[in-house]
Structure 1
Amino acid sequence: MKTALKPYVHENCVTPILKVHADTEVAVHRQEQHAPHRCTVIANDANDQAGNLTDWEQEYDQIGAGRFCGRIDELNFGGLQLFNEHTGRSLRQRCKVWPDSFWFGFPSKRNETRINGQSVESSDVLCRPGSTEFELVTPESFDMLSIVVSKAKLQSHEASEDIDLKLLDAKNYPRLRLSLRTLQNFRYLLRRILQPTINKIDSDLHHDLLIMGLLELLAEEIPNKKVAPSYQHRKAVVERIKDYMATESIAPVTMTTLCEVGCASRRTLQYSFETILGISPMTFLRISRLNRAKRMLCQPSTSSVSEAASFNGFYHLSQFSSDYRQLFGELPSETFAKSHPANNSQLHSNALEPCVRTVPAFQHCLQRRGT
């Protein structure tokens, strides 16, 4: 039986947060020094969710419309990290795992998931080395079961278990193909160990079970090299547009401009974005700017909604407010109020949008950083 949500203030965090746990879980952590560190983290904002995973560098753009809800259940053993991440809305995720490690991901909806623009097939496991940036596009109501292990732990078994870690370092092959039986068995093991009732088992046993299962998985892995003939060209087109968006000033951009930057025709540009990201180029442009505006609204240095809107190329403020609310399920003034409580009484001063009732900032759980 779980306790009610209650405020908890992290020593390095100025924002009140919420910690979720079971009474039995607390008792175990106090009595069992060998128990792995467990944390459950809940967020109602994609930006918060991106920062809630221990030692990862991430930035999330929300693609699906509506209020966001996410959850992370995480276990840390030291050099081995196990977690399940739930995201309620479709996202574009830019991720980087901690150094000298390997990440293995098991998505719940494979045919709707992309990694670096490559579609995920039924028997695929996702894999990326540490300190290497990669991109995920994930669907609505999605779960990613993951394990991250230090490179040193695998290197100690490389010769005896006849595995080749060079394949895992290959930047062009983010998908590994396995037998469905091996895949199902390992997913079952990960889910079982993540269950709170398993906490009473010593962490050494957890650790050994995970390493043994991972070695069995790696003994039969084969890189999935299957991509469409046009993949490299289409990905290059999309990357040129993303680089332009990241470096150029936020001025109004037309399809003609995007075609010139991408060195592609309108049709090729459209096909490229639909193949790599699953959305049109103009949708990507609008959503990227809205997400950037939201991150800016959450920064204490931002003085007003109009500043965030104009900086990101939204000059028709009523349209910005409407588009923002459609994507995120709240007005930009509501987002601004959560990060600027001192300015709540002035929300309506610029007459940019209807005045809204002040609501308390969401209190999300932020787990201990580091292991």
Structure 2
Amino acid sequence: MNRFLGPTTPRNATADVVDVRVSDTHDADEQAACLTDWGQCYEQMSHGSFDGHFESYRFDGIEIFREDTNQVVQQYGQPQAGTMTLAALLNISDDGRFCGTPVSPDHYFFLRGGKEFHFRTPQRVTLAAVTVNMERFAAYCQRVGELPPPGTCVDNGLIHKGEQDELGGVLTSLMQSLRHSPDMLRHDTLRRCLAEGIHSTVLGLCGPTENTAKDLTACTRQYVVNKARDYMREHVDEPITVSDLCAHIRVSRRTLQYSFQDVLGTNPARYLRNMRLNGARREIRRQTDERAPVADIAARWGFWHPSRFASEYKSLFGELPSATLKAAVKH
């Protein structure tokens, strides 16, 4: 059963079309056809009825998708040229092989657009992945003062998962929210924050590891933080991203990170999240109707997970957003 929920047009008429696709399949060929522009061929190799599931969310040059299969399948394909894909195994019953190499949950798959891949799946597997447009990813890297990762991103292969890497968990949580409320992708700000976070995650997984920004002087670090805070004050009613700060101050993401950590004892992402929480609170307090959709306000300020937004909001302000709204309406 295929449930095609897109495309839809974002509220900003100049933005990209948003696609949401959900499919339950009972044949390997049906499963292969779910991921468009990949030229895939799936061949079932184990005995039994095939059951598969596929869901995809595509926006602004990014596609997030999940695939479930219950049989051993030989997968061949070639992602669309001009893209790169990172995939995480969420559930695996036994060993599979990717481009001739044994895989485990400790690996991420890297797939380069235009390069053919081969994946022999385990008997049962759940995979979550994100595909990014290379031009947009390169533009993000330029904004945050980083070079697009060279060596890792030449051919298909495996990336060993670090202790702090949570790509699978991030994609799973994001898709749970989008599955429940796909309409949130209509919000320009939310899509921009999601794209920022995804590009940052991809860069962190396959980008350079050297930390040259550690040699900054105390004076330079204070200057960077002061410039960032000045920019935030000038745009207090806008949801600012880390790349916005990097582009304005003309420093790299790592320079910004070390400056905030040393001067303020926190990282810029957490600082900006608190700024966005304050922005959402101000908007909630301006409401005059107790039925005002708090989830829409959260989405406009870049929060895509409603329960997490409520938890972070309560942690910062000591009350739930609904309590703030109720008090605002009474006054």
1:176/1:222 contact within 8 Å kept: no
Pick from 69, 79, 83 the counterpart of residue 101 of structure 1: 83
Q: Gaps (5+ residues) in structure 2?
A: 208-331
Q: Distance in 1 between matches of 2:177 and 2:164?
A: 20
Deviates more, 1:176-185 or 1:132-141: 176-185
Partner of 2:135 in structure 1? 152
Show the 5 A alignment for 1:278-289: none
Q: Distance in 2 between matches of 1:206 and 1:106?
A: 24
Per the alignment, in what secondary structure is the counterpart of residue 156 of structure 1?
Answer: helix
TM-score, normalised to structure 2's length?
0.53
1:103/1:146 contact within 8 Å kept: yes
- Answering whether residue 95 of structure 2 is matched by residue 112 of structure 1, we say yes
Per the alignment, in what secondary structure is the counterpart of residue 20 of structure 1?
Answer: strand
Partner of 1:169 in structure 2? 153
Q: Gaps (5+ residues) in structure 1?
A: 1-17, 224-371
Per the alignment, in what secondary structure is the counterpart of residue 165 of structure 1?
Answer: coil
Q: Report the alpha carbon displacement of residue 84 of structure 1 after superposing the two structures with TM.
A: 1.0
Partner of 1:191 in structure 2? 175
Q: Distance in 2 between matches of 1:207 and 1:152?
A: 17
Q: Distance in 2 between matches of 1:181 and 1:79?
A: 23
Per the alignment, in what secondary structure is the counterpart of residue 48 of structure 1?
Answer: helix
State the one-letter code of the partner of 1:195. Answer: R
Per the alignment, in what secondary structure is the counterpart of residue 157 of structure 1?
Answer: helix
Q: List per-residue Cα deviations over 1:110-133 (Å, max 9, x = no partner).
A: 562321121224342211110100
Q: Distance in 2 between matches of 1:186 and 1:172?
A: 22
Pick from 209, 212, 220 the counterpart of residue 204 of structure 2: 220
Pick from 32, 37, 54 the counterpart of residue 72 of structure 1: 54
Per the alignment, in what secondary structure is the counterpart of residue 207 of structure 1?
Answer: helix
Partner of 2:115 in structure 1? 132
- Answering whether residue 100 of structure 2 is matched by residue 141 of structure 1, we say no
Q: Distance in 1 between matches of 2:177 and 2:78?
A: 24
Q: Distance in 2 between matches of 1:131 and 1:49?
A: 21
TM-score, normalised to structure 1's length?
0.48
Length, aligned pairs only: 202
Cα 1:92–1:42 change in 2 (3 A) is: same
Show the 5 A alignment for 1:11-22: 19-20=2-3
Partner of 1:62 in structure 2? 44
Q: Which has the higher contact order (CA 8 A, sep 6+)?
A: 1
Identity of matched residues, %: 18
Moved over 6 A (4+): 30-35
- Answering whether residue 3 of structure 2 is matched by residue 38 of structure 1, we say no
Show the 5 A alignment for 1:248-287: none
2:70/2:124 contact within 8 Å kept: yes
- Answering whether residue 88 of structure 2 is matched by residue 88 of structure 1, we say no
1:161/1:219 contact within 8 Å kept: no
Q: Distance in 1 between matches of 2:172 and 2:32?
A: 26
Q: List per-residue Cα deviations over 1:278-303 (Å, max 9, x = no partner).
A: xxxxxxxxxxxxxxxxxxxxxxxxxx
1:56/1:95 contact within 8 Å kept: yes
Deviates more, 1:86-95 or 1:191-200: 191-200
Cα 1:82–1:191 change in 2 (3 A) is: same
Q: Distance in 1 between matches of 2:165 and 2:148?
A: 21
Q: Distance in 1 between matches of 2:99 and 2:50?
A: 23
Partner of 2:192 in structure 1? 208
Q: Report the alpha carbon displacement of residue 49 of structure 1 after superposing the two structures with TM.
A: 1.5
Q: List per-residue Cα deviations over 1:299-341 (Å, max 9, x = no partner).
A: xxxxxxxxxxxxxxxxxxxxxxxxxxxxxxxxxxxxxxxxxxx
1:72/1:85 contact within 8 Å kept: yes
Cα 1:184–1:44 change in 2 (3 A) is: closer
Q: Distance in 2 between matches of 1:155 and 1:31?
A: 24
Q: Report the alpha carbon displacement of residue 97 of structure 1 after superposing the two structures with TM.
A: 0.6
Q: Distance in 1 between matches of 2:31 and 2:205?
A: 31
Q: Distance in 1 between matches of 2:74 and 2:125?
A: 12
Cα 1:171–1:200 change in 2 (3 A) is: closer
Q: Report the alpha carbon displacement of residue 60 of structure 1 after superposing the two structures with TM.
A: 0.9
